[in-house]
Each structure stands twice: as structure tokens, then as C-alpha cells.
Amino acid sequence: MTELSFLHRYEPATDQGLPPLLLLHGTGGNENDLINLGRKVSPGSALLSPRGKILENGMPRFFRRLAEGVFDEEDVRFRANELADFVAEAREAYGLEAPIGLGFSNGANIAAAMLMLRPEALAGAALLRAMVPLSDAPKTDLTGKRVLMVSGQMDPIIPMENSARLAAVLVSSGADVQHETLPTGHGLSQTDLQLLLKWFAESGK
């Protein structure tokens, strides 16, 4: 574990032709959580996996919230910029291209905020159980960036209207969005993995 501005885990690429992944865990997770998922969905990619700096009752997160699904948007802005700065630092330190974000829940939400505020930080993103992170985000240009969103129809935290709104914001910014809604809740399922495998395989084309 190396420290730049975030405590993080880094695994170098074994296939230089593949984009690096920025792995972003959910509430209560850490830098180890998504390593196996990253290895599975894009074998050979470099993996950069920071730990969120906010602690909510001891549980790491990437930004503060006022209640479940209710965000401290000033903190969202601050933390998205801070994380984008870390990505720039890590790219320099490890010699990386812009990574593809792979985030779950709170990690997906900070990735969505980075797309809105610092689009240069990510080459694209796979957002698992994401919701709108900022009620009024500046209009950014996401042309050429692929985004996969996978939402759960029975997600108790994220109403379907909310994830649809996030997809619409990303589409209106020019991103190439694939939004899938599964008959499941907030937790991940085998179908999430299948969708990720297919989406990552297609990015090589």
C-alpha cells in the first residue's frame, strides 16, 4: 500500500494495451473490496483503488451525506475535486492513461460527480447502483466517454426515477450511456458481473 494523497492499493498492468481501472468502493468498504472484481472484468488492466477519506460511524466513504440518499453537496464537490487530483497524481507517479472508473454505490456516486465536475479525470465509467450526486451540476462535455449504469428496480436507496435522471444528465452531456435496470435491490448480482464483462469486452473494439 503506497500513500499519495489517498491511502490506496495499486496493481500494475500486465497487459499494457488495456486501460487502467479506478476502483471505488461502497460505504463501509475499503481499497481491497473491488480488486477481485477489477481483475475479473478487465484482466491485465492496472488497478488503482483508493480508500474514501470520510468516516461515517467508522465506515469509509467518498463524501459526506446528511441521511441515506441525501448528500452534502458542498462536500461532494470538494471530494470529487480532491479525488480527481489524486487520479492526476497517481497517473504521473505510475505512468497511467486516464482510468475507467468502476464504482459501487457511494463509489459510483463519486465517479458520477467526477464525470460532471472533472471529466478529464476518467476515460469512462461503470456505475453500479448510482444516483444523482449533485442537484445542479455544470454542463460538461462527455463526448466519447462510455458509461455503463446498472440499477436495481427494487433498490430501497435509489428510486428508479433518480437513476433514470442521472442517465439522462450523462446522455445530455454527450456520453455514450448504456443504462440497465435489473430486477434486484442495492446489492450486486451475477447479472451485474455479466453486464460488466460484456461492456468491458466491447471497449476493446
**What are the CA-CA distances from residue 203 to residues 42, 80, 123, 145, 200 (Å)?**
10, 25, 11, 10, 5
The closest of 49, 28, 27 to 37, measured between CA atoms, is 49
26 binds ligand MLT (CB under 6 A): yes
Contact between 54 and ligand MLT per CB under 6 A: no
Between 20 and 101, name the residue whose CB sits nearer to ligand MLT.
Answer: 101
The position carrying cell 465506515 is 59
Q: How far is the CB of 89 from ligand MLT (least distance, A)?
A: 24
What's CA 107's distance to the chain center, in Å? Answer: 5
CA distance 128 to 164: 13
Residue 134 CB, nearest approach to ligand MLT (Å): 12
According to the binding rule CB under 6 A, does residue 174 interact with ligand MLT?
Answer: no
Determine which one of 72, 85, 186, 189 is catalytic: 186
Residue 131 to residue 97: CA distance in whole angstroms: 27
The residue (of 20 and 60) whose beta carbon lies closer to ligand MLT is 60
Interaction between residue 68 and ligand MLT (CB under 6 A) = yes
105 binds ligand MLT (CB under 6 A): yes
Nearest to 114 by CA among 148, 82, 158: 82
Interface of this chain with ligand MLT, residues 108 to 147, rule: CB under 6 A = 109
The span of 16-24, 41-49, 88-96, 105-113 binding ligand MLT (CB under 6 A) equals 105-113
Dist CA 112 CA 132 (whole Å): 8
Binding region for ligand MLT (CB under 6 A): 26-27, 65, 68-69, 105-106, 109, 157
